[in-house]
């Protein structure tokens, strides 16, 4: 056979070379790639059918009026214009959500870091403490916890009973618009367990001899924290801050349960997602709700991009 002359490197026999030619390019491409795509198939269907497709449709719907009965009617940027200029509930929801994010995330992370540092000292009983501090985070999303919280902060609830014992008359936390958001912040801070565990993992990575050296040089505890712990922990702090902030923007269940779905009193617990839910499934303004959803995406994206851009000024990656 003349083809045998061109058999590369002599490694492949004449028969198999001919076989390869007979199979053809397509067959070889198929053999190399088919298993990968077969394994990916469920995810690919899900991605196109449940993520990309719906996301594009939602973008389209955000430029329409759509009540689920009649087909969507194109209204251009009207939804966005109304959100930006003429929707007091949007500004209220945005205000509530930003307040919640700005208050709950720093407190939560500070507690998480303090407790993680207290636990990272080779203490006896570490697994027990860790479990106790993590438990509220795990139960956190459930309705029962929100119900419990509503009771804790009720005007005749436990918090006020405890305050009464030391002679303070507490306000009606849940039903007073000035205080209601703080009960939700407190709930979020109570659930500091999951960032705490990530901090613990991060603290383990810091080499012990750095502290020993600093100690020998006479550096105070505070200085050691400021000069060693904090800088070396910045990647973990950064990660926790981004994850917790995105989560805080998406909070829903506690506000829904505690306010009975209204976001009250006087919109003081109208979380962004709760407003979105009301518009979509209460008023069936699906186009408007889609626009709200896209604004949430843009806000989260801007926040995330901002975090990543500023991170290079304060996050230290040693390696």
Partner 1 sequence: MTASVTAARPPSDITKRSLPASLIIHALLIAASLLMLYPLLWMVSASVRPETEIFSSTSLIPSSIDFSSYARGWVGLDVSFGRFFWNSLVISLLVVTGNVIACSLTAFAFARLRFVGRNFWFAIMLGTLMIPYHVTLIPQYVLFLDLGWVNTILPLVVPKFLASDAFFIFLMVQFFRGIPRELDEAAMMDGCSAWRIYWKIMLPLSLPVLATAAIFSFIWTWDDFFGPLIYLNDMNTYTIQLGLRTFVDSTSASDWGGLFAMSTLTLVPVFFFFLFFQRLLIEGIATTGMKR
Report the site for partner 1 in 234-253 (rule: CB under 8 A): 239-240, 243, 246-247, 249-250, 252-253
For the chain, the farthest-separated pair of C-alpha atoms sits apart, in whole angstroms, at 104
Exactly one of 141, 178, 314, 316 binds partner 1 (CB under 8 A); which one? 141
Q: Is 33 among the residues that bind partner 1 (CB under 8 A)?
A: yes
Among the listed ranges 97-105, 177-185, 284-292, 308-316, the one in contact with partner 1 (CB under 8 A) is 284-292
152 CB neighbour count, 10 Å cutoff: 19
- Is residue 70 part of the contact set for partner 1 (CB under 8 A)? no
Position 130 contacts partner 1 (CB under 8 A):
yes
Does 31 participate in binding partner 1 (rule CB under 8 A)? Answer: no
State in angstroms the smallest separation of the CB of 21 from partner 1.
Answer: 21
Stretch that binds partner 1, among 83-91, 100-108, 161-169, 176-184 (CB under 8 A): 161-169
> In whole angstroms, what is the distance from residue 54 CA to residue 280 CA?
15
76 half-sphere exposure, CB direction, 13 A CA radius: 2
Distance CA 147, CA 219 (A): 48
CB of 94 to partner 1, least distance (A): 15
Question: Applying CB under 8 A, which part among 20-28, 88-96, 100-108, 137-145 lies near partner 1?
Answer: 137-145
Instruction: Give Cα 49 distance to the centre of its chain.
Output: 23
Neighbours of 75 (CB within 10 A): 18
CB nearer to partner 1: pick between 21 and 41: 41
Q: Hey, which residues between 96 and 125 contact partner 1 (CB under 8 A)? A: 115, 118-123, 125
Report the distance separating Cα 133 and Cα 197, nearest Å.
9
For residue 96, what are its two tokens? Answer: 């509530």
Structure tokens at 13: 């026999």
């Amino acid at each position: 056979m003349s083809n045998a002359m061109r058999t590369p490197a002599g490694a492949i026999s004449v028969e198999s070379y001919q076989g390869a030619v007979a199979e053809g390019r397509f067959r070889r491409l198929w053999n190399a790639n088919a298993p990968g795509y077969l394994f990916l198939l469920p995810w690919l269907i899900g991605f196109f059918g449940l993520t990309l497709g719906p996301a594009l449709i939602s973008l389209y719907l955000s430029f329409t009026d759509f009540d689920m009965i009649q087909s969507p009617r194109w209204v251009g940027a009207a939804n966005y214009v109304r959100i930006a200029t003429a929707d007091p509930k949007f500004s209220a929801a945005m205000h509530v959500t930003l307040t919640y994010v700005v208050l709950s995330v720093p407190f939560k992370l500070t507690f998480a870091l303090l407790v993680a540092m207290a636990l990272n000292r080779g203490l006896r009983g570490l697994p027990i403490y860790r479990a106790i501090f993590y438990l509220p985070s795990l139960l956190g999303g459930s309705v029962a916890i929100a119900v419990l919280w509503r009771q804790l902060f009720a005007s005749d609830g436990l918090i006020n009973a405890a305050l009464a014992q030391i002679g303070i008359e507490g306000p009606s936390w849940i039903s007073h618009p000035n205080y209601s958001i703080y009960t939700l912040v407190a709930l979020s801070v109570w659930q500091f367990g999951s960032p705490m565990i990530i901090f613990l993992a991060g603290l383990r990575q810091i080499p012990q001899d750095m502290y020993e050296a600093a100690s020998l040089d006479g550096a105070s505890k505070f200085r050691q924290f400021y000069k060693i712990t904090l800088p070396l922990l910045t990647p973990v702090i950064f990660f926790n801050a981004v994850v917790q902030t995105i989560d805080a923007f998406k909070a829903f269940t506690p506000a829904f349960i505690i306010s009975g779905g209204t976001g009250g009193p006087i919109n003081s617990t109208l979380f962004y997602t709760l407003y979105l839910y009301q518009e979509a499934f209460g008023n069936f303004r699906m186009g408007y709700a889609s626009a709200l959803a896209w604004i949430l995406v843009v806000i989260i994206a801007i926040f995330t991009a901002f975090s990543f851009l500023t991170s290079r000024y304060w996050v230290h990656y040693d390696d």
